[in-house]
Amino acid sequence: MTAGPCEVWFYHLERSPLEAVLPELLEKTMGRGWKALVRGGDPRRLEALDQHLWTFREDSFLPHGLVSEPMAERQPVLLTGEDGNPNAGDAVFLIDGADPGDLSGVSRCILLFDGRNDEALAQARGRWSVFKKAGHPVSYWRQGVERGWEKQA
């Protein structure tokens, strides 16, 4: 975990749904040796993501669990709708407009938003200003024309 301010990265989903993007980002996070916390607001969506992360690709295994399951604090990827950071995640992923909560000790906060949804886009713009005013280093990533991500700001 970091002692400085948490970096906040905004991921603007334009071509791919969250279900396609999130597993890849979680794999990259784990590849760094980091733990991840995925915070969302809808328990049904988190349960669906729980199932999806087991089956998103045949040649991959992404160990994870829901906060309601036993030994949740030991999960390298934890899905939750609650405040806090029970698995001591180095990276917090915010989906579906979830509140970031306290980011103390977190290295990176990744806010994923659907760029085709006007409400989500407006909320992301508002959060950009809030994070920047709070002194967090912020960056904006947009899906490339072909594949991958391009840093825009």
In a domain, 1, yes or no: no
In a 13 Å sphere around the CA of 99, the CA atoms on its Cβ side amount to 6
Give me the number of domains the chain comprises.
1
User: Whole-angstrom Cα distance, residue 122 to residue 127?
Assistant: 9
Give the tens place of pLDDT for each residue, 20-36. Answer: 999 999 999 999 999 99
Is residue 47 within a helix (H) or strand (E), and if so which, with residue range? helix 43-55
| 64 domain residue, yes or no | yes
Q: For position 46, which CATH number holds?
A: 3.40.50.10110
What is the per-residue pLDDT for 61?
Answer: 80
In a domain, 125, yes or no: yes
pTM above 0.75, yes or no: yes
For every residue of 81-134, DSSP letters joined together read SSSS-TT--SEEEE-TT------TT-SEEEEEEETT-HHHHHHHHHHHHHHHHT
Look at residue 2 and tell me if it is in a domain.
no
Q: Closest Cα partner for 71 from 86, 89, 56, 59? A: 86
Q: Quote the domain boundaries for residue 132.
A: 7-151
pLDDT for residue 3: 59
Tens of pLDDT along 50-102? Answer: 999 998 888 878 999 999 999 999 999 999 999 999 999 999 999 999 999 99
**Residue 40 in domain:** yes
